[in-house]
Every structure is written in C-alpha cells, then in structure tokens.
Structure 1
Amino acid sequence: MSSGGFHVHGPHDHALEHATHGGHHDASHDEAGGSMTNQIAMFTAIIATVGAIFAYMGGATQANAGLYKNDAAIKKTEASNQWNYFQSKSTKQSLAEVSRDLTPREEEKAKYQAKIDRYEKEKNEIKAAAEKLEQEATEWDKKSDAQMHQHHRWAQATTALQVAIALAAIALLTKKKWLEYGMFGVGAIGVAVGGLAALHI
C-alpha cells in the first residue's frame, strides 16, 4: 500500500492475465475458471477502490485530530496566562487590603478600598475569561479524541480490505473456493467497519 491508497499488483495480476488471455483446451474447465477469475478481478477492483477511499479518510481524520489537539493546547496556554493574571490581581488586592488595615487615615482607607473593589471586579472578569478558555480547550480535546477514534475505525477497515485483497490473490492462484468465500467475508467486514467510521460509531 502506498501513501495514496492500494497497489494490488502482485502474483494474482499475472495469473489473471494468463487466465484471461490463455488457451482454451478445456471449455468447461475454462468456463468455470473464467467465472471465478472474473469474480475475483471485479471484487479486487472494487475493494481496492473502496480501500483507497478509506485510506484517504483515515489520513484526513488523523490530520484533523492533530489540528484539534493543537487548538486545545493553544486554549490551555491562553487559560494559563489568564490564571497567572488572576493571581497577580489577587496579590495586588491582598497588598491593598493590608495597606488599608494598617493606615490610620480614613481618606487613605477609602483610597485602598477603591483599589480593592477594582481588583475584585477585574479578578471576576479574568476568572470568567479563564474558565471560558478552559471550556474551549476541553471541547477541542473532545473533538480531537472523536477524530482519532474515527481514524482508528478507518484504519481497521483499510486493514480488513488489504487482507481481503491478499485472500483474493491466493484464491486466484490456488482456485480454492473457500478462499473466495473468505475474501468476500473479510471484504464485507472491512466495508462494515468503514460504515461504522462514516457514522462516527
């Protein structure tokens, strides 16, 4: 498999070409073998196409997961900065409260109390902003986790389709009917898992 999808070139390609263009010494045998060859060739083409789509979707969801995780990290950093700012205001408020309590002059007490009230108001605004950023970070994390779950589903589906193609190649070379049934079964599982990925399950 390449980064863009499936490469199904292998021994079964040569067998397919030989079966398609070979001699016709036994008409009944060639008819049965040709029917099986045509089935496998059609199955392989369809599954390879579906597998390429699944592989693309798997790559896309993995990229999205990384981007969302990065957005979450940015929001966490911004939230941390806000909490540091909040702490700074708390420290200033504490110093203002000490100064208010220590000064004997009423006008000075009033001045410090005004500062305390301003710091309290600013702290509440900063806290609200920090909590909002934390909530946004959590949402981005959830989106990233959902994309990674979907990526794993696409990867599982792609792997199943790769196995189905491998079984198709072996079935083509050995002419074993049970392998043909096996390739259809594994292919169906791969398509079903891809359906789960598409439905975000």
Structure 2
Amino acid sequence: MSTTGKIAVSTAAIATAGAIFAYMGGATQANAGLYKNNAAIKKTEASNQWNYFQSKSTKQALAEFARDTATDDGRRQGWQVKVTRYEQEKTEIQAAAKKLEDEASRWDAQSETQMHQHHRWAQATTVLQVSIALAAIALLTRKKWLERAMYGVAVAGVAIGALAALHI
C-alpha cells in the first residue's frame, strides 16, 4: 500500500476513534449534569427539612415558655408532653436532613467524577482532530516528518482516551 493509502486508512481509523471519544464525552457530560441536578434536588429537600426542624424548634420554645409560665400542674404537664414530642420530632427531622445532605454530597461527587472523565474524553477527541489535520497536511506536502507527527499525535490521543476509559 502506498504512503497516501496508509495515511488515508489511518485517518479513517483515527476519525472513527475520535467519533467514539466524542460520543463518550457527550455522554459523561450529560451524566454530570443529571447528577448535579440530583444533588440540587437533594439539597432543596434537605433545606426543606431544616426549615421544618426550625419550625419545630420554634414550637418547642413556645411550648417551653407556656410550660414555664403555666400556673397549675395539669397545664404544666400538658405543655411538657408537647415539649417532649417536639424534641423527638426534631431528632427525626434532623436525621432526615443529614441523610439528604449526605445524598447531595454523593451526587455532587459523582458529578465531579463524570466531569473529570468528560474533560479527558474531550482532550482525547481534540488531540485526534489535530492528528487528522496533520494527516491532511502530510498528504498535501508529502513531508515524512508530518506523517510521523500525525501518528505520534494519534497515539497520544488514544492514550488520553484510554485514561478517560480507566477514569484516570
């Protein structure tokens, strides 16, 4: 096969790898967006829980005030029951809020991982595009050093793609 034929076949192979890398880059970017959205939803749910916690704290404080200012023991005990109930409810709400915050943190971490992988795929795609441009110039100028550069840059692009596939 002639040099021109080798470069043409190599260019087709490089373009195919580049298309696959571009697809993977888009997929990881979409995943990162979805994960970030899930994190935002969990953060909102956690905020709602903390607001609910605050409302229970306010009710508890009012019940404590009413208990402390009540003049008879019957009313005092009634308010104490409410104080105890609000304290228990707050504990449950606080646990739910912390759980939601933890879920949000996990979604954020997954989003960051996907964005890192997306950047690797984008880098690999870009390097392969440079390789294809070098192939075109090598075909036009028939410079051997450009042909070697094209192959070297293509190998670098595939190596970066391998890093993306390995989540490195």
TM-score tier, shorter chain, comes to over 0.9
For 2:152 and 2:79, the matched residues in 1 are separated by 79
Q: Could you tell me how far 1:104 is from its partner in structure 2?
A: 1.6
The residue type paired with residue 47 of structure 1 is I
Greater gyration radius? 1
In 2: Cα distance, 1:39 partner to 1:163 partner: 18
* Number of matched pairs: 168
User: CA separation in 1, counterparts of 2:24 and 2:54?
Assistant: 45
Q: Give the equivalent residue in structure 2 for 1:110.
A: 77
1:61-119 alpha-carbon deviations (Å, 9 max, x no partner): 01111111100000000000000000000000000001111112011111000000000
| Aligned partner of 2:18 among 39, 43, 51 | 51
Q: How far apart are residue 42 of structure 1 and its match?
A: 1.3
| Alignment-derived partner of residue 43 in structure 2 | 76
Question: Residue 149 of structure 1 corresponds to which residue in structure 2?
Answer: 116
CA distance in 1, matches of 2:70, 2:108: 50
Distance (whole Å) between structure 1 residues aligned to residue 11 and residue 100 of structure 2: 49
User: What CA distance in whole angstroms lies between the structure 1 residues aligned with 2:52 and 2:24?
Assistant: 42
CA distance in 2, matches of 1:36, 1:169: 13
Shift of 1:190: 0.3
CA shift for structure 1 position 132: 0.3
| CA distance in structure 2 between the aligned counterparts of 1:39 and 1:102, rounded to whole angstroms | 93
Runs of 4 or more, structure 1, over 4 Å off, are none
Cα distance in 1, alignment partners of residues 110 and 134 from structure 2: 36
Equivalent in the alignment of 1:172: 139
Residue 101 (str. 1) matches residue 38 (str. 2)? no
Distance, in Å, in 1 between the alignment partners of 2:119 and 2:51 is: 38
If each structure's helix is expressed as a fraction of its own residues, which one has the higher value? 2
Aligned to 1:63: 30
Q: In 1, distance between residues paired with 2:144 and 2:6?
A: 12
Q: Indicate which of 67, 84, 90 corresponds to 2:57.
A: 90
Q: Give matches, 1:154-165, under 5 Å.
A: 154-165=121-132
- With structure 1 as the length reference, what TM-score do the two structures score? 0.83
Give the Cα–Cα distance (whole angstroms) in 2 for the partners of residues 89 and 171 of structure 1: 73
The structural deviation recorded for 1:178 is: 0.3
RMSD: 0.7
Gaps of at least 5 residues in structure 1 are: 1-33
Between the aligned residues of both structures, percent identity stands at: 71
SS of residue paired to 1:189: helix
Deviations 1:125-145 (A, max 9, x none): 000000000000000000111
SS in structure 1 opposite 2:65?
helix
Write the letter of the residue equivalent to 1:186.
V
Partner of residue 9, structure 2: 42
Q: Which runs of 5+ in 2 are unaligned?
A: none
